[in-house]
Amino acid sequence: MVRINPDKPSTANTTKPSELDAVLKAQRAAFNTNPNPDWPSRKAKLETLRDLILGHEDEFVKAISDDFGHRAVEDTLISEFLVIQGGISHAIKHTPKWMKTRKAPTALQYKPARNVIIPQPLGVIGIISPWNYPLQLAIMPLVGALGAGNRAMIKPSEYTPRMSELLKEVLSKGFTDDEVFVATGGVDVASAFSNLNFDHLVFTGSTSVGRIVGEAAGKNLVPVTLELGGKSPVIIDESANMKLTVPRITNGKLLNAGQTCVAPDYVIMPEAKINSFADAMIEQAESFYPTVAGNDDYTTIIADGHYARLQDLLEDAENKGAKIRTAGDDDKQQLAKERRVPLTVVTDTTPDMKIMQEEIFGPLLPIVAAESLDEALDTVQKGERPLALYWFGEDKKKRDKVLRESISGGVSVNETAWHVVQEDIPFGGVGPSGMGAYHGEDGFKSFSHMKGVFIQSKFSQGKNLFPPYTDKTRKMIGLMKKIL
Ligand code: NAD
């Protein structure tokens, strides 16, 4: 997978590696004085977090927009604030149950002993987050970490320096450094951060940096949750209701100007329907965003390098024979000046085009022909296992075949992206799109040690297996063999 960030901005305020070490030490020492916080103290932390983040909504909206160039206010409210609020409310409602000691069955031969599982905080959780949803992707792992009774250190992306500084300032109003700490700075700080001896490290970002982070964590045997990217396909079946399908794909693709880990990356559909679908997508985009240049509803591409990379993907596809349709008729120079890219549908694609090889991460939508469901599934399987897969259609047999036979981090059926905000199902990738999962109870479990405990009874028959071994022992073994 090609790395998404071709240029590196600098940041003024940088956390020093020695400070990172000192904070980790302080957090671990503080954790050791209270290694299993009770529910009232965890709840208070979650409420503090909620009040601090929601209480600074306007400042965060502005900081994120300034970091992007322009970020639609509603894009931030929908994709950052609603998600965070939903995640914290869910955690406050359910954590008391999740943190309880759970009874587990005990096999007949070990009875009357009992088994239990005790969820236990791990200690200090490291969180490295990307720029595309800079607040949500720093806070959602923190919700899981705090709910599970941990302390946490966060390193947001160097591409959102204003948001990172604000996050540091806001969180320091409610948390001491030995509870929650925000590190700021560039890749050098992120790299030092990923080498710290955390009790668990959550990394959200590209697959290529995920490999580096996984290796760094592996050296310290730090367990990792890797939330990575990839090319998330959309399969449109002949049975799909196109009146519902077209706006849902357009919305999923254009939210945050396509800079979404689970954005539909490319579409697979029968050849005969490609042209009418491509035209309908363009028409839909023009109805959502009548102009793109100067439109406050439309988010800009984060940096010049990212803009140039998208233009390069298009040029490469065009040079190799692709047909390009662009929404609207905005002045190209103005669009470039604003770093805004309208929906661009790319047809007549071939596998040698870069746009069919790299994660796109922008509002370009290539379409691939497949005449049958098997061919569509084959196209998906030839690529790396994606973070998300979308299927549109009404034929339930085909839907079930897709769900059974395709492998992806998650799926939305007749929708794009919404599976990500369901707190009752795990969110995570598979293979090159990630490992581990979080959100809801899955986050709680990822940031807890689910400790298995066996409690022996005074009536245990285990003494029958003590040495010296006699006929009585062998009889006992025979008896156990019969009941296993
Ligand atoms: P990125 O991999 O460039 O950066 C992510 C984070 O890693 C940043 O905080 C950065 O500072 C840090 N980093 C960079 N180099 C590092 C190094 N050598 N060692 C340690 N840390 C380092 O990703 P990005 O450009 O910020 O985000 C885009 C990518 O993230 C896309 O691939 C997208 O699909 C993926 N993503 C995934 C999810 C998910 O939940 N699975 C969510 C959002 C984005």
For the chain, what are the domain ranges? 17-228+436-449, 233-428
Residue pLDDT, tens place only, 175-219: 999 999 999 999 999 999 999 999 999 999 999 999 999 999 999
Q: What is the CA(57)–ligand 1 centre distance, in A? A: 24
C-alpha radius of gyration, the chain, whole number: 25
Mean pLDDT, rounded, for 424-447: 96
Active-site annotation holder among 80, 158, 227, 441:
227
- Count of other CB atoms within 10 angstroms of residue 477: 11
80 close to 60: Cβ distance less than 8 angstroms = yes
Distance 464 CA to ligand 1 centre (A): 57
Q: Is pLDDT above 60 for 133?
A: yes
Q: Can 165 be counted among the known catalytic residues?
A: no
Asked whether 261 lines ligand 1 (CB < 6 A), one says yes
The class level of CATH for 17-228+436-449 reads alpha beta
Read off the pLDDT of residues 19-28 as tens digits, 9 standing for 90 and up: 999 999 999 9
Residue 13 is predicted with a pLDDT of 76
Report how far ligand 1's centroid is from the alpha carbon of 442 (Å). Answer: 21
Enter the pTM of the model. Answer: 0.95
CA pair distance 69, 144, nearest whole angstrom: 31
Residue 227 bridge partners (DSSP): 204, 434
251: enclosing H helix or E strand: helix 242-254
- pLDDT (tens digit per residue) in 216-230: 999 999 999 999 999
- Res 9 pLDDT > 90: no
Q: Give kind and range of the element (H or E) at residue 266.
A: strand 266-269
- The whole-number pLDDT of residue 203 equals 98
pLDDT of residue 325: 98
Residues linked to residue 236 through DSSP beta bridges, in sequence order: 392
The per-residue pLDDT for 12 is 62
Task: State the greatest distance between any 2 C-alpha atoms of the chain, in Å, as a whole number.
Answer: 92
Position 6 scores a pLDDT of 47
Mean pLDDT, the chain, rounded, equals 96
| Domain 233-428, CATH class in plain words | alpha beta
Q: Which among 164, 209, 301 is the best mutation to test ligand 1's pocket, defined by most ligand atoms within 8 Å of the CB?
A: 209
Residue 271: Cβ within 10 Å count = 12
**Ranges 3-7, 179-183, 350-354: which has the least confidence:** 3-7
pLDDT band with cut points at 50, 70 and 90 for residue 326: very high
pLDDT greater than 60 at residue 79 = yes
| Residue 446: both structure tokens together | 């990822």
**What one-letter code names the amino acid at 279?**
D
**Residue 382, CA atoms < 13 Å, CB-side half-sphere:** 9
Report which DSSP code applies to 258.
Answer: G
